[in-house]
A = this chain, B = another copy of it.
């Protein structure tokens, strides 16, 4: 039976109900994290809790539990998660704390060889100087609408720009671009979410921060998407234009796996 952790207690998943007065439901006033769970063990809890706790300080949401208690909650909920792979979500609003899981079907292996289609949606501008920049805020409707629009045209992901017209990220992934044998990802100052796969690959030196423009996509040898659920996935088509799938995604996937802390 799946378990959830809810305001300090572990309960059967079906018992969790959110109050209609919760600030997360009323105003999206909260933050979340999405972790991958393989066979009951959550990946890179350290990086996710680093980001969550830093974000909560920024928006001034106080957590009654300390980090160790959150780690224990994640481990307990992960251990009871659907197998073989699950998605674990930590949600903290100005009023409720929640750890839940759901079954997750990872991309098939051939997708890692074939790559996925993406579409640039210039109307969805990220405000790199705004109060929510870099936060995994519950205010995700713009991202969801961008993803719906991309999916309605047969694409797997939408690519988003910031207010200066620079490339920032996908609606649910970080972005990396291979230019002359180096791998670049937009800097945090351009407004991207500081993703956990991105973080680990920056730590190893496998990728580097550099501002990127839409023109860099056309010049790129390879284009890659990264997030905690998929790892690193190559792109094979941008706005209908083919782009080669090279060896970099697979190389980064291995570098990332080697860099991960032992599972919780």
* Chain A residues in the interface with B (C-beta under 8 A): 4, 16-30, 32, 59-60, 89, 91, 98, 100, 102, 123-125, 127, 129-132, 137-146, 148, 163
Judge whether A138 and B19 touch: CB under 8 Å: no
Q: How far is the CA of A125 from the CA of B89 in the complex (A)?
A: 29
Cβ contacts under 8 Å, A142 to chain B: 130-132, 139
Contacts A18-B25, A20-B91, A27-B140 known; list 5 others, CB within 8 Å: A26-B138, A26-B140, A125-B163, A127-B127, A137-B139
Chain B hits for A125, CB < 8 A: 127, 129-130, 163
Verify B20–A138 contact, CB threshold 8 A: no
Q: Are A141 and B28 in contact (CB under 8 A)?
A: yes
Of the listed residues A28, A32, A91, A143, the one surrounded by the most CB atoms of chain B closer than 10 A to its CB is A28
Give the CA-CA distance A105 to B100 in the complex, in Å.
Answer: 37
Q: Is the CB of B127 within 8 A of A163?
A: yes
Complex CA–CA separation, A132 to B17 (angstroms): 28
**Are A20 and B16 in touch, CB under 8 angstroms?**
yes
User: A-side binding surface: helix, strand, loop or mixed?
Assistant: mixed
4 nearest interchain CB pairs?
A17-B17, A28-B28, A139-B139, A27-B140
Min C-beta distance of A128 to chain B, whole Å = 10
Q: Measured between C-beta atoms, what is the minimum distance from A13 to chain B in Å?
A: 9
Query: Closest CB-CB distance, A252 to chain B, in whole Å?
Result: 28
Please pick, from B16, B26, B140, the residue contacting A29 in the complex, using a CB distance under 8 A.
B140
**Complex Cα spacing A190 to B145, Å:** 21
| Given A130-B125, A131-B124, A140 and B20 contact (CB-CB distance below 8 Å) | no
* Chain B residues positioned under 8 Å from A19 (CB to CB): 17-18
CB distance from A119 to the nearest CB of B (A): 14
In the complex, what residues of B have CB within 8 A of residue A18's CB? 17-20, 22, 25
Q: Which of A98, A100, A141 has the most CB of B within 10 A?
A: A141
Closest chain B CB from A234 CB (angstroms): 26
Of the candidates B129, B139, B143, the one whose C-beta lies within 8 Å of that of A123 is B129
Offer 26 A-B interface pairs, CB within 8 angstroms, sorted by A: A4-B20, A16-B20, A17-B18, A18-B18, A18-B25, A25-B138, A26-B89, A26-B91, A28-B139, A28-B140, A28-B141, A29-B141, A29-B144, A59-B141, A60-B148, A123-B129, A124-B130, A124-B131, A125-B130, A127-B163, A130-B142, A132-B141, A132-B142, A137-B139, A137-B141, A163-B163
A98 to B91, CA, bound (A): 22
Contacts of A139 in B (CB 8 A): 28, 137-142
Chain B residues lying within 8 Å of A102, measured Cβ to Cβ, are: 21
